[in-house]
Chains A and B, each alone.
Chain A
Amino acid sequence: MKNVVIRFCGDSGDGMQLTGNMFSSLSAILGDEISTLPDFPAEIRAPQGTLGGVSGFQVNLGQGVYTPGDKADVIVAMNAAALKVCVTNQLFHDHAIIVVDTDTFTKADLEKAQYTTDNPFTELAIKETVQVVPVALTSLTKESLKDSGLDNKSILKSRNMFALGVVCWLFDRPIDKAIHFLEEKFHKKPDLIPNNVKVLTDGFNYGQNLALSVNQIHVDPRDPRISSPASMAGSASEKHTLIAGNKATAWGLIAAAQRCGKRLFLGSYPITPATDIMHELAGRKDMNVMVVQAEDEIAGVCTAIGASFAGDLACTSTSGPGLSLKSEAIGLAVMAELPLVVIDVQRGGPSTGLPTKTEQTDLLQAVYGRNGECPVVVIAASNSANCFEYAYQACKIALENMTPVILMTDTYLANGSSVWAIPQLNDLPAIEPQSVPQSLKGQYNPALRDEHGVRYCAVPGMEGFEYRNIGLERDAQLGTISTKPENHERMVRARQAKIDRIAEQIPLLEVQGNIASDTLLVGWGSTEGHLRAAAQELNCAQVQLNYIHPMPKNTAEVMHQYKKVIVCELNTGQLATLLRARVQDVTFLQYNEIMGQPFAVERIVSAVNSKL
């Protein structure tokens, strides 16, 4: 097979995210392309065995992998509730294999999962084409660990390793690599290794016993001559790793700080799904990262603004509700013309909305959501690995242009993983933060600009450059408070012009797919993989925007080349709204989903074929 989609699902305490991540990493190391979709409930521990507590992890592996896959080819269901969720939400194909723990089909378990009969298989009316593989996971795990001395609770927690062992056999993964990976994973808790290795191995061996009833799945090995589409950045680096979006974002900030010799400062407040960025950076004191866990979202951005004023590379990470709270302070950074990186890991909204689900509904908030004429740069990552690249670019643009930059990612990118070509620091583009010529000593003021319209930057500690920054309007010559009418208009236009000029620094749009087609799919941010896969099936053209404000210079030109331009977004049409304002004489059609989930390729394809 070219590629296979597998979904692990169970109780939120069953360790499905860990199991899924381990299997993904194992497959990636063996050369598969990977795209993952963790899908978990908002509750940390919903009542055990209930439908609301089911946590899933889907991974697509093999060749030509752009997305985590619409539906699974293999389901591993750790209990009756997980099985039911997979069936009722149609999460698998008609010829899928379902491995399910039948030990969980007790009367109490079935009641918790709201079954009305004692036979889940018939009650759920699973199609005959689906191959159900009942496995007594619980009792097999107990048997495996009966001499371990572990208590019952700990033994039950190891069921996921037995399941992983079975799956390793099913996909013909060498067990020694899996064991090695397990040892790496638990190297800080070595006492956990022997029991986990035993359960994993027993699971693998049990799989061999299944061989009579189930065929192993062989995923085609990678052709080394073809570069991996999962790392769309296209770096020449030889080394690869699997990286989650939030970690890639954090590391992009670290790389940028080191590339320009500034200290990285993060002011942040915990918020799903952005918090992992703060976790990662709080643990990177070895990289001289300073993290302030602030008292609220506003303090998160404000401490960053203070650090920026004092000369650090300053960032704040948040999600939609936090971006709302930070609006006024982002306006301050615009007015004070200070570099600032704001990371918005979008989730379902409005208000508290769907905290653990994905959506692209903050775009207009990012572009326009502040009082006054308040332009900032807005950019978006488009896969988990390139969160690194765009976080790095956000820092570069902010520091070189003395402006806030909002980097948009989302739940799907943040929690999902893809293959990252590991760069060397010196191969990354140089970053030259704005500074101030010594010749201005004694005459400096914060209104003085260079030939690109970027204000010169002095920082505390520099003798002879003492100045007062403000959120009030400043005089275009003197840098002091001014309420003069003409001056205000001049300054509003100067701030906008500075942002507009950044279009010169960003890459042009590149159309993918069948560029000669008359149909163009347009997307932005995290939908790139789905739209590229859909364009392939539709044999049409596709273009993804990573730079949204300002837009690439050839945006209008590209749109004009196609008869039918369909803007596909996980919102009601926010990019489409922006495009209509900026590109004349093109009719922008729309395809939108707002379900808290990534696109399904087949839904895009059928919508384009039938309606658009």
Chain B
Amino acid sequence: MDASTFKSNQYVRFCPGCGDHAILAALTKAMAQIGVPTCETVVISGIGCSSRMPHYLNTYGFNTIHGRGGAIATGVKTSHPELTVWQMSGDGDCLAIGGNHFIHEIRRNVDLNICLFNNRIYGLTKGQYSPTSPKGFVSKSSPFGTVERPFIPAELVLGARGTFFARTLDVDMPTAVDCMIQAHQHKGASVIECLVNCVIFNNGTHNWIADRETRADHSIVLHHGEKMIFGKDQDKGLKLSVSTDGETHGRGLIPHLVVTTADDPDVLVHDAHESDPTLHHMLAMMGQEDQSLPIALGVIRDVEEETYDAAVNRQINEVRASSKAKNFDELTATLEQW
């Protein structure tokens, strides 16, 4: 079993240079390492460029309707928890038309691996702004710039009480593969925000970190149990600060993350398994609105809670074990009848 085991015979129709090619490559590699057979792997998608993914994978797949992949994947996994279920979605599919299903699959903690391809644009409909496009973004549907505030996917995930959140980048294959494997290992709704470039309609949207020259200084790849160190020369670290008002640009005693030197004894050690999401939230928000901090990649949050699919099936089994009526005829026998 290797990556080619998971590739279908379909010609891949992503645009040349599209970040989705990289995610496809990472996914087949991850699936091979995970080792679940193709017949027990299901890939569900909605509509959009990213949602073409099932066609290129030699697993069971279902390319459904716009925004509903989350609900359909919930049905597959809940009814058949023995299957490994992936959901492929984009920033429009998942956060606009499918936003309700997205927050509820996370809230319920359905054991799904959700790849959220974020290119901050509607590509398949040829270039409208999306819920993650930055304010002021000029697109075909916002010729004078958007006046909307964008979603930051991590905030939604944590706000919906998410148990797993990771962030990857199309040009960082090892991190993507690693996050996908960890997402599979995590029991519950695992969201991987895949930052991808749309070469046609939003080229360079993630250049701040995608650029080879600056990536190491503008991003940090988090690993559970390891110190938060980054930079081209691995000379920078992250620590918590609750320093006084003058030093924190008016943020007072609110704890916040700051960049320090790698040898600072206060450099934090990443604990993805901490159930309190406060620090995870701070890590996920780094570099989103304030570029003084690096953008966090890797698995930011990974905590255990009972999954919806397991709980539903457990409850059914408990009731069945203790119930008197075992089948339809025994059920009708309990009716008042004459």
How many chain A residues touch B (CB < 8 A): the figure is 66
Which of B51-59, B145-153, B226-234, B244-252 interfaces with chain A? B51-59
Bound-complex Cα distance A240 to B335 (A): 9
Which residue from chain A places its CB closest to the CB of B54 in the assembled complex? A468
A484 within 8 A of B: no
Task: Please determine whether A310 and B39 come into contact, CB atoms closer than 8 angstroms.
Answer: no
> A460 contacts B327, CB within 8 Å?
no
**Are A310 and B83 closer than 8 Å at their CB atoms?**
yes
Q: Quick check: B76 and A306 within 8 Å, CB to CB?
A: yes
Cβ A469 vs Cβ B62 within 8 A: yes
Given the contacts A290-B79, A471-B63, A480-B55, A302 and B68 also touching, CB distance less than 8 Å: yes
- Interface membership of B325, Cβ < 8 A: yes
Within 8 A of A (CB), among B34-79: 37-40, 42, 44, 54-55, 57-65, 68, 71-79
B60 engages A466 (CB within 8 Å):
yes
| A287 and B8 alpha carbons, distance in the complex (Å) | 39
Would you call B336 and A29 a contact (CB within 8 A)? Answer: yes
What sequence of 0s and 1s flags, for each residue 317-338 of chain B, a beta carbon within 8 Å of any chain A beta carbon?
Answer: 0011001111111011001111
Q: Which residues of A contact B104 (CB under 8 A)?
A: 294-295, 299
A255 contact from B39, B76, B324, B328, Cβ within 8 A = B328
* Interface assignment of B10: CB less than 8 Å from any CB of chain A: yes
Instruction: Verify A422–B337 contact, CB threshold 8 A.
Output: yes
Q: Flag if B39 contacts A463 (CB, 8 Å).
A: yes
Question: Is B80's CB within 8 Å of the partner chain A?
Answer: yes
Residues on B with C-beta less than 8 A from A40 are: none
Q: List chain B residues, Cβ under 8 A from A31.
A: 338
Contact of A310 among B68, B80, B320 (CB under 8 A): B80
8 Å CB contact of A460 from B55, B80, B315, B323: B80
B79 partner residues in chain A, CB cutoff 8 A: 263, 265, 290, 306-307, 310-312, 314
Complexed CA–CA distance, A419 and B74 (Å): 38
Q: Which of A207-255 contact B (CB under 8 A)?
A: 239-242, 251, 254-255
Max chain A Cβ within 10 angstroms of own Cβ: one of B38, B62, B324, B331: B62
Q: How far is the CA of A306 from the CA of B72 in the complex (A)?
A: 4
| B169 → chain A closest CB, angstroms | 27
A309 partner, pick from B59, B62, B329, beta carbons under 8 A: B62
> What residue of chain B has the Cβ atom nearest to residue A467's Cβ?
B60
Q: Which residues of A280-294 have CB atoms within 8 Å of chain B's CB atoms?
A: 284-290, 292, 294
Distance (Å) between the CB of B202 and the closest chain A CB? Answer: 24
B12 proximal to A (CB < 8 A): no
Indicate whether A470 reaches chain B with its CB closer than 8 angstroms: yes
A465 within 8 Å of B (CB atoms): yes
- Contact of A310 with B75 at beta-carbon distance under 8 Å, contacts A285-B315, A466-B38, A469-B61 already known: yes
- For residue A462, CB closer than 8 A to chain B, the reply is yes
Please judge, given known A-B contacts A292-B78, A299-B101, A466-B39, whether A461 and B83 are in contact too, CB under 8 Å: yes
CB distance from A576 to the nearest CB of B (A): 33
Proximity bits, B124-139, A CB within 8 Å = 1, else 0: 0000000000000000
Complex CA–CA separation, A314 to B71 (angstroms): 14
> Are the C-beta atoms of B72 and A286 separated by less than 8 Å?
no
1/0 per residue, CB under 8 A from A, across B75-102: the answer is 1111110110000000000000000110
**Please, how many angstroms separate the alpha-carbon atoms of A150 and B332 in the complex?**
36
Q: Known interface pairs A239-B338, A299-B104. Does A305 touch B75 (Cβ–Cβ under 8 Å)?
A: yes
Q: Which residue of A lies closest to B331 (CB)?
A: A287
Partner of B100 from the list A290, A295, A465, A480 (CB cut-off 8 Å) is: A295
In the assembled complex, which residues on chain B have CB atoms less than 8 Å from the CB atom of A312? 79-80
Contact A471 B329 (CB under 8 A): no
Q: How far in angstroms is the closest Cβ of chain B from A340?
A: 11
> Please, which residues of chain B bring their CB within 8 A of the CB of A307?
75-76, 78-80
Interface string of A179-191 (1 = CB under 8 A from B): 0010010000000
Contact A461 B39 (CB under 8 A): yes
Does A298 have its Cβ within 8 Å of any Cβ on chain B?
yes
Establish whether residues A294 and B71, one from each chain, have CB atoms under 8 Å apart when the complex forms. Answer: yes
A89 within 8 A of B: no
A400 within 8 A of B: no
* Interface presence of A464 (CB below 8 A): yes
Complex Cα gap A28–B335 (Å)? 13
Is the CB of B312 closer than 8 A to any CB of chain A?
Answer: yes
Q: Report which residue of A258, A306, A472 has the largest number of chain B beta carbons within 10 angstroms of its beta carbon.
A: A306
Question: Closest CB-CB distance, A210 to chain B, in whole Å?
Answer: 29
A303-B71 contact given A295-B100, A460-B60, A480-B10, CB 8 Å threshold:
yes
Kindly provide the distance from the CB of A448 to the nearest chain B CB, expressed in whole angstroms.
16
Task: Decide yes or no whether A516 CB sits under 8 A from chain B.
Answer: no
Task: Choose from B71, B83, B316 the contact partner of A288 (Cβ within 8 Å).
Answer: B316
* A299 CA / B69 CA spacing, docked (Å): 10
Q: Given A309-B72, A310-B83, A460-B39, are A332 and B64 also a contact pair (CB < 8 Å)?
A: yes
Answer yes or no: A414 CB below 8 A from chain B CBs: no
Q: Given A285, A287, A303, A332, which contacts B74 in the complex, CB threshold below 8 Å?
A: A303
Contact B76 A470 (CB under 8 A): no
What chain B residues lie within 8 Å of A497 (beta carbons)?
Answer: none
Interface: A609 (CB within 8 A): no
Say yes or no for A481: interface residue by CB 8 A criterion. Answer: yes
Chain B residues within an 8 Å CB radius of A422: 332, 335, 337
The residue in chain A whose Cβ has the minimal distance to the Cβ of B79 is A307
C-alpha gap A424/B313 in the complex (Å): 28
Is B328 a contact of A258 with CB atoms below 8 Å?
Answer: yes
The residue on B at minimum CB distance from A465 is B39
Q: Which of B185-225 contact A (CB under 8 A)?
A: none
User: Are A302 and B72 touching (Cβ within 8 A)?
Assistant: yes
A211 to chain B, nearest CB (A): 29
Q: Is the CB of B337 within 8 A of A461?
A: no
- Decide yes or no whether A25 CB sits under 8 A from chain B: yes
Knowing A287-B328, A298-B68, A460-B80 are in contact, say whether A469-B63 is a contact too (CB < 8 A).
yes
From residue B69, how far is it (CB to closest CB) to chain A in Å? 9
Closest CB in chain A relative to B315 CB, distance in Å: 6
Given contacts A290-B79, A290-B316, A460-B42, are A468 and B61 in contact (CB under 8 A)? yes
Contact A314 B75 (CB under 8 A): yes
The 10 closest A-B pairs by CB, nearest first: A306-B75, A286-B323, A302-B71, A303-B75, A307-B79, A285-B319, A299-B71, A468-B61, A306-B72, A295-B104
Q: A290-B79, A461-B83, A465-B39 are in contact. List 6 more A-B contacts (CB 8 A).
A: A295-B101, A296-B100, A302-B64, A466-B60, A470-B55, A471-B64
B residues contacting A by CB (< 8 A) are 8, 10, 37-40, 42, 44, 54-55, 57-65, 68, 71-80, 82-83, 100-101, 104, 312-313, 315-316, 319-320, 323-329, 331-332, 335-338
26 A-B residue pairs with Cβ-Cβ distance under 8 Å, sorted by A, are A25-B336, A239-B337, A255-B328, A285-B320, A285-B323, A286-B324, A290-B78, A290-B79, A290-B313, A298-B101, A303-B78, A304-B75, A306-B74, A306-B78, A307-B76, A309-B72, A310-B76, A310-B83, A311-B79, A329-B68, A422-B332, A424-B329, A460-B39, A463-B39, A467-B61, A468-B60
Instruction: List chain A positions with a Cβ less than 8 A from chain B.
Output: 25, 28-29, 31, 181, 184, 239-242, 251, 254-255, 258, 263, 265, 267, 284-290, 292, 294-296, 298-299, 302-312, 314, 328-329, 331-332, 336, 422-425, 460-472, 480-481
